[in-house]
Amino acid sequence: MMADPAPVPKILVLASGSGTNLQALIEASRERNFPGEIIAVGCNKPGAFALERATQANLATFVIDHTQYGSREEFDAALMAEILRHNPDLVVLAGFMRILTSDFVRAFRGKMLNIHPSLLPAYTGLNTHQRVLEAGDQTHGVSIHFVTEELDGGPVIAQAEIGVAGDDTPESLAEKVQEQEHLLYPIVVRWFCEGRIQLGAEGVLFDGALLEQPMRLAAG
Ligand code: GRF
């Protein structure tokens, strides 16, 4: 009799919107030998298309509708209870548009990743594409980082850069950045599941060594 395969890390994805990053992760996780398994998808918006994508992929879903809670603390407590029920090894924020309380973030320290559409530390917060255009920047991109208590401020694991053209608009930049997001997030999640990246006291550890600079996806 064959021995059961070793269990792989359990991934829980949180999303709020269309879920294209979720889709990229679902597809990656279906590849042979992917070292992790998506076990559930949670959402704070009942009608989000991300839920539809998860259902299509036969994944468990849950909704914690933030409009039903009187405070951020109550919302986070409900969200935390639901996440813990699934007992994930990794929580992946994939376009999850809620600011999380410090208690929540601390509970998942080193086990929660976020994707942000800028080359952090530049442009934390919203409307990054518009702000990049207004500043006249020639490059832009995406960052994936460990989530810490500082909004969009956790240690950056990896980035991918794009060029900004003279005729770019916020929409065209969003499209170019998302193309990179869909390549980069599965790579980083894979590293996490393989145990290659960790959040250390001083920053990101990659294969046990402190990462001096975020990993960069080579331009294709
Ligand atoms: C992405 O651009 C991500 O960087 C930002 O929210 C967007 C989510 O898009 N945090 P989607 O829902 O994965 O399509």
Q: What are phi and psi of 83, to 5 degrees?
A: -65, -45
Please check the confidence at residue 22 and state whether its pLDDT lies above 60.
yes
Q: Report the alpha-carbon distance of residue 139 to residue 63 in Å, rounded.
A: 36
pLDDT tens-place string over residues 45-60: 999 999 999 999 999 9
Residue 8 CA to its chain's centroid (Å): 19
Show the tokens assigned to 153. 């401020």
Percent of the chain past pLDDT 90, that is, above it, reads 95
101 CA → ligand 1 middle, Å? 20
Q: Locate tokens 């080579």: which residue?
A: 218
Most informative mutation of 23, 93, 178 for ligand 1 (most atoms within 8 A of CB): 178
Q: Report the alpha-carbon distance of residue 190 to residue 195 in Å, rounded.
A: 9
Q: Report the alpha-carbon distance of residue 33 to residue 77 in Å, rounded.
A: 35
Most informative mutation of 20, 23, 142, 180 for ligand 1 (most atoms within 8 A of CB): 20
Which atom of ligand 1 is closest in space to residue 22's alpha carbon?
13
Indicate if ligand 1 lies below 6 Å from the C-beta of 141. no
Q: Provide the whole-model pTM.
A: 0.96
What is the maximum span of the chain, computed from C-alpha positions, in angstroms? Answer: 64
The single-letter code of the amino acid at 65 is D
pLDDT tens-place string over residues 163-194: 999 999 999 999 999 999 999 999 999 999 99
Indicate if ligand 1 lies below 6 Å from the C-beta of 111. no
Show the tokens assigned to 5. 């395969």
141 CA → ligand 1 middle, Å? 13
- State the pLDDT at residue 217: 86
Most informative mutation of 18, 21, 128 for ligand 1 (most atoms within 8 A of CB): 21
Q: Locate tokens 């809620």: which residue?
A: 98
Residue 122 CA to its chain's centroid (Å): 18
Q: Which of 108, 95, 73, 82 is nearest to 22 (CA)?
A: 95
143 CA → ligand 1 middle, Å? 11
- State the pLDDT at residue 219: 63
Q: Report the alpha-carbon distance of residue 75 to residue 70 in Å, rounded.
A: 8
- State the pLDDT at residue 104: 95
pLDDT tens-place string over residues 93-146: 999 999 999 999 999 999 999 999 999 999 999 999 999 999 999 999 999 999
Strand partners, 45: none
- The radius of gyration computed from the CA coordinates of the chain, to the nearest angstrom, equals 17
Please check the confidence at residue 6 and state whether its pLDDT lies above 70.
yes
Alpha-carbon distances of 167 from 131, 134, 138, 172, 177, rounded to whole Å: 15, 13, 12, 9, 15
The single-letter code of the amino acid at 64 is I
Q: Whose CA is nearest to atom 1 of ligand 1?
A: 95
6 CA → ligand 1 middle, Å? 32
